[in-house]
Structure 1
């Protein structure tokens, strides 16, 4: 039994409070280092002596206030306060590369102001993060901005994931940092693998794949849009990111998981339901008197429509009978006319030959038979035949009103005669049906097994016809299939119809399609949406056969009926995306997550499934480890360190364990750990390092900047350039 699922609702975000400005008194004239983690989505900043950083979304918007018409500069949470500012929002990073330095300058202004700095220049050393393998010109422009605009005394750059590793492997005061490990960093725009030996990042062997939290969020948003193309509420990127953080996880074996989820019960058990806000339409309440009046008006309108429809049916029925009588009279003249005259008469009447006349007569007789039967089913017959006294009166003996009444009585008599014929036909069909049921009952009593086999074969034959019809309809959607190519040939043949000369077709000649009954067979063949002429009859006959088997065959159950088999085939689709009734507003605003929970995370290991031409995380790890000796490899895999926001998703550590264990020798120990705080450990590691004496040696001072320029680089173990990388 599938347990009842709880409905999780999107939380309502409150208007952010105004950040407070810190006191600068504790750091005035002390040159306390400032640590800035310049992330692509979040800016974290603070003095290195702080316990935790201040955090703001790394987004800037220039906005003109409507009431005062004054230009405003909004940063972080302030951008979301004004709806008009969101469209003008900009970020310093584009695709993981720092390009927008105006936005970076605004972000730095915000950071320094909220740290309480009230001096003309920034008199504190700066330690700032940069992306792995960041372009040299990006670092140079950032250095130029900090030295020229803010006059900082020194500036150092570091890789955030290395500093997170440093914070989780802090050395003792008397021992230098010499830890070994393999850092796997899950960032917003990318994922990187950095080997660290003896406390030094081997950046020449580091690898990066272009898939991160931002791409995963966009991928989830596309999956939602594909699954729910008519969803009534707009799903934002913020909501998609919240769903990814709360519902998505890594699969230990994704193909095996998909095979497991082919069971509808397993698929339903794994789903999570997100209920979006909705409003129930308020129905207008009416009094009892108004409801009675509306119902009476509807009944009166229905009665009038029935009268109009009955009169129209009667006129059509009389017209068809007259046409049939005319055709039968025309057919009788065939023996009296010569062959040439007969051909001319047929041409004048619109028939090509005798076969066309016979076909038209048969078709009209069939239509009359159906119309009489429908008329007999819909109307009650009079107990006593009505009288039509004026029909036999000559027209010369009647005045104008009498002639009108006579024509009316003729129409009524024709309708009465048609109903009588339909009644007799219906009675004859009823007698034939009773006789057929009697013969079938005798056959069933005589040989129940044989009758059952015959009914089952008939059911199978009808079901095969329905399957073939559905298969052909599906094949028409594939332009390379034989059915689709035959359809195109039929369309081409219709376009080359020689019943209208090319010259007349070119100048807008009359389209003769439909003049021949065979045209409509072609139409049903080329039109994928047109229902087959036998489809309705097959479904009716199938229902009749199955009802007989359910009544008389004890071995035939409801599970063997066509409806049950069809529902079993569609159970997986129903579990993947449940359908709600038209009026269910609450159900229409729900998102059902099942396969997407694991599919969003799988591109980290198989980027190609999301359209990214890159190696997966497992291949990258294997390539990085292959560049080291077995001894060095053993030192690395003893401490596989994962950090970054997406590393908190469930199932990552077991997946990495299952990925790395087969490529390592059995005797080699493997230990995978997660950062104690994957989101803030990078800033905390930077703060720890900024307190050490070594920090003063790795930064570029203002004097060195003025002498060597903005491209001056100092090699050290936590930066993109170190002693293991040739300059």
Structure 2
């Protein structure tokens, strides 16, 4: 069974006699093991097991406790996770417990699977007999220990602090661990488990609640908010508020004290590199390189153009030579001659000559005007009577070509005039803007609104007409004024027909009726839309507070244009304010995380009431010695808050004294080690032979004496 991360192995195992007990503090958070009579445990590690696979060999390894990140890069940890042997504070996964005991005994220096020393192991208060029986079976069968004893960790811690003079023989022990919290009364130095209380709230719930709050507050930093880091933040910054309601209102009002109590956690942030401005030599060098590249491209383009011109000239010479040979061929041999050339007729050759000539002129950069000057139309003015059929066809071709050329010239001239008019209009608009920018912008906006309303109204009228034509509305209601005028003219013309001499057309005004009758309802709509597009483009250029809305055909005003902002060091800071005292509050109010159980202060009252029902004289002595132990009692302000809350449920003037253990984490092991070194410890153990003879029923009645 390979192990990856190992603490220092002990080499003095054989130096201790076989009657020297081994003390184990089997906590849900940490596993501590050492020799009886010593001040500190030899080994202390997390009470978890991790079983990843090696990325190369695929072998499953067992990692107990903490691991080295440098070593874990060789293992696949995606399919495995840390597993504990505890369900809250009761051992139920004895397979994992066996891995942990193997690791602890092997690091202590025990060779093989034989441990020939008595064992004192801690357990929770009122531990189930089944869990205790399985643990005894594991230690006796797998490790062959000679004798075994079970004790409660909170009781050992209380007895150790009683020897130090911190607490009295009669008192309360408040033990808040990883997953559970206990309140155990002590009378005459012995715990009374009949009056103890337990709640399933501990330090793990505080850490998990802090992790949830920070993840909801900073969802983009969830990868950095790990449970291990949250555990460190909890122990470093969290505290217990003396008055939770007042502390919350302090942060709600945003007082200066709230800012002083807020802590910041700086995440890893790398400053983006600042690009240095290029020097003058660098600029000159880049400009020279660009000039060289441009010159090289120009030379390549000129070479390609020269090659293209040469190919076109050769092709044109070949076509002219072919046309010259075709003129010398007799008419009955033309078809056979053309079949060898790939052309069907003489017209196809002429068309190819025209195409190649145009391509050649385009390659040489000749303008259409130069083409028109050099191109001749000799048959345009010749009468058809003196022309042969072939010449008539050529005349028609020349006429068509001339009309096309003239049309292209007219289209180019029209585009040139429009561009000139547009530039002139833009120049006038720019002069108006420079003369009075505010007035010009206001007039432009007014013109934009006017055109927008006009275009929208025309669209609405068109939509209403289409809807009315398909509906059941009367004809007079679905005709607008223009259509009514058309209908009137048509009706008048129909009734006037045949009523005498028809004088229609004698006046020029009569012909205007066709303009009205055949007029377009959308007359001017194209110009309005074009003008609206021009004004919209102009507004986009000069007014940054307007953005185009194509669906509505208008502009919407925006208050601020979103801009890209580079991330700074402040973006990687996590502020911990109200979370500092809100998370430990679950120890007093478990309902904050959905646990319907009592808090620490209420548990103390319940234990006192259970005890005082038998003996009313113990109340004063119990509240005068309240000892806090366990890792969750390390929060600042815990003693003051417990004393304040317990005072609320006790009579006025009652003596209440809350004390903290000398070391809430290690006092349980130290108390067990001190007791195991005492001579009376041998009378508290039961041997392997007793286990075989008496079995589980004897363990049910087993009671450890701490006095």
TM above 0.5, one fold? yes
**Preserved CA contact (<8 Å) 2:623 2:657:** yes
Q: Which moved more, 1:280-289 or 1:128-137?
A: 280-289
The alpha-carbon deviation at position 674 of structure 1 amounts to 0.3
Alignment pair present for 1:408 and 2:415: yes
Counterpart CA distance in 2 for 1:608 and 1:297 is: 73
Shift of the 433–244 alpha-carbon distance from structure 1 to 2, 3 Å rule, reads closer
Matches within 5 A, 1:106-145: 106-118=99-111, 121-145=114-138
DSSP-derived class of the 1:641 partner:
strand
Query: Which of 255, 264, 268 is the matching residue for 1:273?
Result: 264
- Displacement, 1:123? 2.1
**CA deviation vs aligned residue, 1:204-256 (integer Å, no higher than 9, x gap):** 22111211111111111111111110127522211110000000000011110
| Shift in alpha-carbon separation, 1:216–1:163, aligned structure 2, 3 A | same
Residue 163 of structure 2: SS of its match in structure 1? coil
Going from structure 1 to structure 2, the CA distance change for 1:291 and 1:651 (only over 3 Å counts) comes to farther
Task: Please tell me whether residue 584 in structure 1 is matched to residue 567 in structure 2.
Answer: yes
Q: Is the 8 A contact 1:79 1:85 kept in 2?
A: no
Query: CA separation in 2, counterparts of 1:106 and 1:689?
Result: 27
Distance verdict in 2 for CA 1:643–1:410, change over 3 Å: same
Give, in angstroms, the shift of residue 644 of structure 1: 0.8
For residue 670 of structure 1, what is the aligned residue in structure 2? 656
Q: How many angstroms does 1:110 deviate by?
A: 1.8
Give 1:156's aligned residue: 149
Which deviates more from structure 2 when the two are superposed, residues 220-229 or residues 287-296?
287-296
Structure 1's 583 and 431: CA in aligned 2 closer, same or farther, altered over 3 A? Answer: closer
Q: Which runs of 5+ in 1 are unaligned?
A: 1-14, 299-394, 435-496, 502-529, 541-579, 723-727
Q: 8 Å contact 1:700–1:712 — kept in the other structure?
A: no
- Counterpart for residue 48 of structure 1: 36
SS class of match (1:43)? strand
Could you tell which deviates more after superposition, 121-130 or 595-604?
121-130
Verify: 1:716 aligned to 2:703, yes or no. Answer: yes
Check conservation: 2:5, 2:63, Cα contact below 8 A: no
CA distance in 2, matches of 1:405, 1:535: 35
CA 1:415–1:117: 2 relative to 1, 3 Å: same
1:620 to 603, 618, 621: 603
Q: Distance in 2 between matches of 1:107 and 1:281?
A: 46
Distance 1:131 1:498 in 2: 86
Contact 1:638 1:672 in 2 (8 A): yes
Q: State the Cα distance separating 1:631 from its structure 2 match.
A: 2.0
| SS of equivalent to 1:627 | helix
Whether the 8 Å contact between 2:113 and 2:142 is mirrored in structure 1 is no
Measure, in 1, the Cα distance between the counterparts of 2:151 and 2:551. 68
1:98 to 66, 91, 98: 91
Within 5 Å, give how 1:646-725 maps onto structure 2. 646-713=632-699, 714-716=701-703
Distance (whole Å) between structure 2 residues aligned to residue 171 and residue 398 of structure 1: 116
1:184 maps to what in 2?
174
Mark the CA change 1:290 to 1:222 in structure 2 (over 3 Å): closer, same or farther: farther
Whether 1:21 and 2:4 are equivalent positions in the alignment is: no
Indicate if the aligned counterparts of 1:645 and 1:679 stay in contact, CA closer than 8 A: yes
Q: Distance in 2 between matches of 1:534 and 1:593?
A: 47
Q: 1:433 to 1:149 in 2, by over 3 A?
A: closer
Distance in 2 (CA, whole Å) between partners of 1:418 and 1:48 is 102
Contact 1:159 1:718 in 2 (8 A): no
- Quick one: distance in 2 between partners of 1:183 and 1:228? 39
Match for residue 226 of structure 2?
A: 236
Aligned partners of 1:126 and 1:152 also within 8 Å = yes
Distance 1:154 1:59 in 2: 26
When residues 297 and 583 of structure 1 are mapped into structure 2, their CA distance, relative to the original with a 3 A threshold, is farther
Q: How far apart are 1:659 and its partner, in Å? A: 0.5
TM-superposed CA distance for 1:48, in Å, is: 0.6
2:575 partner SS: strand
Q: Tell me the SS of whatever aligns to 2:239.
A: coil
| 2:208 is aligned with 1:218 | yes
Distance 2:98 2:644 in 1: 44
Q: 1:660 to 1:68 in 2, by over 3 A?
A: same
Cα RMSD after superposing both structures: 4.1
Deviations 1:410-463 (A, max 9, x none): 4225535754886799789966999xxxxxxxxxxxxxxxxxxxxxxxxxxxxx
Matching residue of 2:333: none
* Ranges in structure 2 where 5+ consecutive residues have no aligned partner: 291-401, 443-466, 472-549
- Higher Rg: 2
For residues 591 and 414 of structure 2, the distance between their equivalents in structure 1, rounded to whole angstroms, comes to 80
Residue 27 of structure 1 deviates from its aligned partner by 1.3
Residue in 2 that maps onto 1:36 = 24
Secondary structure in structure 2 of the residue aligned to 1:251: coil
Per-residue displacement from partner, 1:480-536 (whole Å, max 9, x unpaired)? xxxxxxxxxxxxxxxxx99999xxxxxxxxxxxxxxxxxxxxxxxxxxxx9999997
Which shows bigger deviation, 258-267 or 674-683?
A: 258-267
Q: Output one character per residue of 1:159-189: Cα deviation in whole Å (capped at 9) or x when no partner.
A: 11111001000299xxxx9811111111011
Q: TM-score of the superposition, structure 2-length normalised?
A: 0.60
1:23-63 deviation line (CA, Å, top 9, x unaligned)? 1233133x111110111121101111222102111122345
Whole-angstrom distance in 1 between the partners of 2:649 and 2:258: 32
Rounded to whole Å, the distance in 1 between the matches of 2:610 and 2:576 is 41
Give the aligned partner of residue 577 of structure 2. 594
For 1:430 and 1:64, how far apart are their aligned partners in 2?
74
- 1:642 correspondence with 2:628: yes
Measured at CA, do residues 398 and 104 of structure 1 come closer, stay the same or move farther in structure 2, by a change above 3 Å?
closer
Tell me the distance in 1 between the aligned counterparts of 2:287 and 2:221: 35
Is the contact made by 1:144 and 1:710 (CA closer than 8 Å) also made in structure 2?
A: no
TM-score by length of structure 1 reads 0.58
Count, aligned residues? 477
CA–CA distance in 1 between the matches of 2:667 and 2:29?
16
Cα distance in 1 for residues equivalent to 2:672 and 2:469: 86
| Contact residue 201 and residue 718 of structure 1 kept, 8 A | no
Question: What's the CA shift for 1:618?
Answer: 2.2
Q: What is the CA–CA distance in structure 2 between the aligned matches of 1:654 and 1:184, rounded to whole Å?
A: 14
Task: State the 1:648 CA deviation.
Answer: 1.2
- Output the CA distance in 2 between the equivalents of 1:697 and 1:499: 109
SS at match of 2:610: coil
Q: Secondary structure at the match of 1:156?
A: strand
Deviation at 1:704, TM superposition (A): 1.6
